[in-house]
Structure 1
């Protein structure tokens, strides 16, 4: 009994550390949103170039998801997670020291490479260390921790940028990564000792061929594609809005208010909504219905936020918070992918879902910039292009459209509750 309790405690500690890394990489991910003007001014970049700089994170993050799942299923989490944090810290250093847009993009690319391991690794460790009944809850809690980083990150990072400058702000992220490296290496373990002993006696280590065949099985499953595309549409609330273009839009629409605080309401919604819906979904054994509701209400809420005339700031914050809550139902897509996959392939299935989820960031971040530049009136301030509220309203039409398409796709989504 004591050994079981010790294993349970250690499991939660290990999974929490993995979730903390996810929180850390989320801070690095959102950095461009709070220093958009400074970066555009420093690198003489327009909206399209700025969108591409931010999207460099996703250029490597998204395709790496497939490799991440295979590597974790084959080799475990400890060594890979440590290398991932090293990549994030080095990338952060390069980004902060960059003399031009090209070097800054390379730094963002390295950050994206390391960050690619964070979320899937947390799910892999949870599947190995925690009881199955806590899996969806842990997905929600991990997402919530990332949102906590996002919520306070946009406020704190914005304040730091104005007080010490964008380069010094990025350097703080580098130092945090350097501190995390030895902690992760010393504490993280791939699986409980009893599980390792049992596996050593019952089956050989996974082989490349069987893992690849398992991946092909996932690839041929239409439900994995439907589920992943739904997740992609819902995650645009973060990858397109809260992580990048939300602050510039809100600054333009509400110039007398702190846009960082307003945008943090979306992260607060995810912080509360993701573990709550994870718990409710586990208790009711329902995934499809809340995902459908989340898609539809998110489409309605973002339409109100973007297209209504400027409103009372408290009402705006309420709508942004609710937008975060209902779009956070996206986390159930990871429970769906896990329940439709054999346990040895949970990391690969989660990675595949995550890769489709992040496709939205690759396409939408530069696309919004391209639309802004195409509709730009020619106005500049301090050699930086100034985009009007109308420009943003035209560009952000992508959001309600994709949420509604996600809602339509839920009609073909099937549930499969496996006890693992």
Structure 2
């Protein structure tokens, strides 16, 4: 192994601790998924009010990405990750004691905020501690492992709500944050040779310069649209509409619908390392890989939606596997950010990209709900809304793929000649 390919000593410890913080964030994000009925009774709310929790968290998460990225560039990932863990712990504690709908909404608002302060920090740590060749593999492994937090939230929270009640269950969940916060405090360093790093002061001039420079580079925009077009289908299925679509739209049993969503999570976890190795070995083909994956997702959805009557079970299994691959594929957008921006604005650029998929997911969650109401619960019509975002996203990926390669020819013709580009 060459020096350039080696990671710093302690890199895996920092990654594992940061990954624990990310797992905790996903756990808290998903902890309401199994508590819907209990929450409806506790706060005396309708199904529409219950869905507001999901939309609020998505909106806050997406809206916080750029501010969090700027904060990481200014104060370092360790400080922001610590703040995120503290916010998650306090907000889940508040949620445990909430007895009214407005109080619960406020608590989930801060859960979304704490969640948003974790992932960008972890990516910054990965870039600081691992070699350039290893970063893509670790990045695409990070996302799928983090999503395991959603699985961890399901069974323990179901048991806790049944046996301990609302307040004790969420207090128990909040207590995990204390452990993770201490672990980050003790073992995480911003860089191998510095516990904490600081960037330029956050003046309006510096903020404007950082965001403008990041967005100006076509590689950042290519990463944005990659994240936008790959992630939303799996997020929408996993977060809200998958279960109703399978049970009411495709008339599967409730048990089989649960199996399908589990298969999708497994597909996410297995696809991440494979895609990480592919883009590490073939960085020139990153956008080509994204285009192929999205077109595959579109093709399988088209077959399911066009199937006369209900699609067979095996076809739905194929659907969730292919759609699941889109989750880790969205992480390829972060690798474009890494190779398109200097380290001092990397987190701000990452924040720009990270909001894309969640923005697309939020739009789709709302649109599907509206179309279902307008069409009398026609799930095939509602799920067809995805073609609007696929069309927009694919066109923009192709557009900025061309621009990114043209930028590379201009800035680094020797690298272009060696066919080791960033598109």
Picking from 233, 246, 260, the partner of 1:262 is 260
The equivalences for 1:151-300 within 5 A come to 151-154=151-154, 157=157, 169-193=169-193, 205-208=199-202, 209-210=205-206, 212-252=208-248, 253-285=251-283, 286-300=285-299
- Paired with 1:117 and 1:399, the residues of 2 have a C-alpha distance of 28
Q: Identify the range of structure 1 (64-73 vs 99-108) with the bigger mean alpha-carbon deviation.
A: 99-108
- Paired with 1:6 and 1:121, the residues of 2 have a C-alpha distance of 22
Decide whether aligned partners of structure 1 residues 320 and 412 sit closer, same or farther in structure 2, where only a CA change above 3 A counts. same
Asked if 2 retains the 8 angstrom alpha-carbon contact of 1:368 and 1:395, the reply is: yes
Asked if 2 retains the 8 angstrom alpha-carbon contact of 1:86 and 1:181, the reply is: yes
| Displacement after TM superposition at 1:288 (Å) | 0.7
Equivalent residue, structure 2, for 1:357: 357
Decide whether aligned partners of structure 1 residues 59 and 71 sit closer, same or farther in structure 2, where only a CA change above 3 A counts. same
Asked if 2 retains the 8 angstrom alpha-carbon contact of 1:151 and 1:268, the reply is: no
Asked if 2 retains the 8 angstrom alpha-carbon contact of 1:62 and 1:359, the reply is: yes
Decide whether aligned partners of structure 1 residues 411 and 111 sit closer, same or farther in structure 2, where only a CA change above 3 A counts. same
Offset from partner CA, 1:121-149 (integer Å, 9 cap, x none): 01111111111111111111110211222
Asked if 1 retains the 8 angstrom alpha-carbon contact of 2:140 and 2:331, the reply is: yes
Asked if 1 retains the 8 angstrom alpha-carbon contact of 2:372 and 2:378, the reply is: yes
Decide whether aligned partners of structure 1 residues 205 and 93 sit closer, same or farther in structure 2, where only a CA change above 3 A counts. closer
Asked if 2 retains the 8 angstrom alpha-carbon contact of 1:154 and 1:261, the reply is: no
Offset from partner CA, 1:375-395 (integer Å, 9 cap, x none): 45xxxxxxxxxxxxx443333
| Displacement after TM superposition at 1:360 (Å) | 2.3
| Displacement after TM superposition at 1:207 (Å) | 4.0
Q: What 5-or-longer segments of structure 2 have no aligned partner?
A: 409-419
Corresponding residue SS for 1:132: coil
Offset from partner CA, 1:83-123 (integer Å, 9 cap, x none): 11111112222233322322221111111111112111011
Equivalent residue, structure 1, for 2:74: 74
Asked if 2 retains the 8 angstrom alpha-carbon contact of 1:251 and 1:257, the reply is: no
Decide whether aligned partners of structure 1 residues 256 and 74 sit closer, same or farther in structure 2, where only a CA change above 3 A counts. closer
Decide whether aligned partners of structure 1 residues 132 and 6 sit closer, same or farther in structure 2, where only a CA change above 3 A counts. closer
Decide whether aligned partners of structure 1 residues 319 and 361 sit closer, same or farther in structure 2, where only a CA change above 3 A counts. closer
Equivalent residue, structure 2, for 1:413: 400
The equivalences for 1:140-151 within 5 A come to 140-151=140-151
Asked if 2 retains the 8 angstrom alpha-carbon contact of 1:24 and 1:149, the reply is: yes
Offset from partner CA, 1:178-202 (integer Å, 9 cap, x none): 2211111111111112798xx9xxx
Report the TM-score, using the length of structure 2 for normalisation. Answer: 0.83
Report the TM-score, using the length of structure 1 for normalisation. Answer: 0.84
Asked if 2 retains the 8 angstrom alpha-carbon contact of 1:298 and 1:327, the reply is: no
- Paired with 2:169 and 2:369, the residues of 1 have a C-alpha distance of 24
Asked if 2 retains the 8 angstrom alpha-carbon contact of 1:76 and 1:190, the reply is: yes
